[in-house]
Structure 1
Amino acid sequence: MACPHAPWPGIAGPYLLACAIFGLSPASAEAAGLADQIHALARDNGFPAEGLERLGAEPARSAEGTIKDRLQTLLQGYNYILAESRPGNIERLVITGTARSGKPQSSTISTLRIGAHHQVEAILVGPNGVTQTVSVLVDTGASTVVLPTSMITPLGFDAEGLSAGISQTASGQVHTKIGVLPSVTVGPASAENVPVSFIADKRLNGAMLLGMSFLNRFRLTIDDERNEIVLLAK
């Protein structure tokens, strides 16, 4: 985005430099924070950015390189989901929260494409300590891991002890039973105490979902062209 002449005499150099570094519009070059900076970057490159409110009042940052490089620099210290239809073509950005301190570890996991979805193998550990390996669809629209009610007993849950809930699906509201899986592992990436929703088998039509209760523990990149996901853990 090009910057016009500086609005105040004597500060043209710093003003234009701010525009060049941060990619801000002239009106917001001085006042904009990190959220405004990322919003402008998303708007100018045609992809939605969700969760900007989680950035708080952080100031804008310096970032250079490709759009993906700039986002990775700007979002250091945060967990996020970055979906690409092909390398460099960003389709969606979702900021999920603040990352914990420590050296992040990256896991690249090959996926099987099921239509527009990516399917991966997940190892679930229930309260009884028994592991169950299942195929799950990566679904950033699901708030939790979603499994059929037929898995409640095999995973060691007490059906009567699970909380009752309501979930909104594409076909309307459905009743759910809610619990917590002690562990979920996908490739080398693992998370503990992962909320899970159980829905009647017939409503899922055989599908199981890897939702945000697992995914928001990581920075997630979905690469449609390579058929893989990258999970960057804390």
Structure 2
Amino acid sequence: MIAGTACPQAAKPFLLACMTVGLWPAAAEAAGLADQLQGLATESGFAIEGLERLSDEPARRAEGSVKDRLQTLLQGYNYVLAESRPGNIERLVITGIARSGGRPPPSSTIPTLRVGAHHQVEALLVGPNGVPQTVSVLVDTGASTVVLPTSMITSLGFDAATLSAGVSQTASGRVHTKTGVLPSVTVGPASAENVAVSFIADKRLNGAMLLGMSFLNRFRVTIDDEHNEIVLLAK
């Protein structure tokens, strides 16, 4: 609690909004940005991942709603914000320092189709042959790359012999992969260039294709479960 301010116990979820402008807790000044974000997550009841991706920097002054504070605290970083409904944050994933390569307009709101607990969107993929292909992909913050079936290697213009072979750990076990780079990926009005892609045997994917972090980490992402949409913003 900040000296000189008071918030009723019943308004505890809104404690941060009760902070008086101009007052700044001494503890926050002494702590780093990572500690400040962890404290905000604990106070507001949402899960946070990726604190290790922050640079070593001091806490920042932030005011307003929890979402406003996060936008201020994470200036210069890309992140994924999952909301069960607007303003009800459930999960924050810090994906890294904002970098070039994402080109959406100021705000790209993209409707999704719910497939169980997942959000599905249409993505336009361009491979080395320059031929666009539209596919349905599941938004998956747990996937490090875009994930496609090996049957698409040739149709996208890749030479299978030049792709890098590897092994990936999935929920169903370790799988062999071939990795490359897609010249561009577009979802709604948002696009990114040089996006890492992993190809996995069709039978292991069971028809699913994934929009992973090699695309998502180019943006600040909000996943809205209530309205079935994702919002992509770029620095």
TM-score range normalised by the length of the shorter chain: 0.7 to 0.9
CA distance in 2, matches of 1:23, 1:170: 47
Contact 1:109–1:229 under 8 Å retained in 2: yes
Q: How does 1:159-174 map to 2 (within 5 A)?
A: 159-174=160-175
Determine the structure 1 residue equivalent to 2:96: 97
Report the 3-state secondary structure (helix = DSSP H, G, I; strand = E; otherwise coil) of the residue aligned with 1:127: coil
Determine the structure 2 residue equivalent to 1:88: 87
Contact 1:24–1:40 under 8 Å retained in 2: no
Determine the structure 2 residue equivalent to 1:49: 48
TM-superposed CA distance for 1:57, in Å, is 2.2
TM-score, normalised via structure 2 length: 0.86
Determine the structure 2 residue equivalent to 1:158: 159
TM-superposed CA distance for 1:60, in Å, is 1.5
Determine the structure 2 residue equivalent to 1:61: 60
Greater Rg by CA:
1
Q: Deviations over 1:123-177 (max 9, x none)?
A: 0001011111000000000000000000001001111111101111111000011
**Which letter does structure 1 place at the counterpart of 2:116?**
G
TM-superposed CA distance for 1:103, in Å, is 10
- 5+ residue gaps, structure 1, are 6-18
Determine the structure 2 residue equivalent to 1:32: 31
Report the 3-state secondary structure (helix = DSSP H, G, I; strand = E; otherwise coil) of the residue aligned with 1:105: coil
Determine the structure 1 residue equivalent to 2:13: none
**Which letter does structure 2 place at the counterpart of 1:215?**
L
TM-superposed CA distance for 1:99, in Å, is 1.9
Contact 1:81–1:219 under 8 Å retained in 2: yes
TM-superposed CA distance for 1:185, in Å, is 0.4
TM-superposed CA distance for 1:61, in Å, is 1.6
Determine the structure 2 residue equivalent to 1:118: 119
Contact 1:182–1:192 under 8 Å retained in 2: yes
Change (3 A) 1:184 1:23: farther
Contact 2:36–2:59 under 8 Å retained in 1: yes
**Which letter does structure 2 place at the counterpart of 1:50?**
E
**Which letter does structure 2 place at the counterpart of 1:214?**
F
TM-superposed CA distance for 1:20, in Å, is 5.9
Change (3 A) 1:150 1:192: same
Report the 3-state secondary structure (helix = DSSP H, G, I; strand = E; otherwise coil) of the residue aligned with 1:61: coil
Report the 3-state secondary structure (helix = DSSP H, G, I; strand = E; otherwise coil) of the residue aligned with 2:176: strand
Q: Percentage identity across aligned positions?
A: 80
CA distance in 2, matches of 1:210, 1:184: 10
Contact 1:128–1:156 under 8 Å retained in 2: yes
Q: How does 1:119-158 map to 2 (within 5 A)?
A: 119-158=120-159
CA distance in 2, matches of 1:78, 1:213: 15
Change (3 A) 1:3 1:210: same
Does residue 195 of structure 1 match 2:196? yes
CA distance in 2, matches of 1:23, 1:198: 52
CA distance in 1, matches of 2:22, 2:229: 31
CA distance in 1, matches of 2:124, 2:97: 26
Contact 1:84–1:221 under 8 Å retained in 2: yes
TM-superposed CA distance for 1:30, in Å, is 3.7
Q: How many residues align?
A: 219
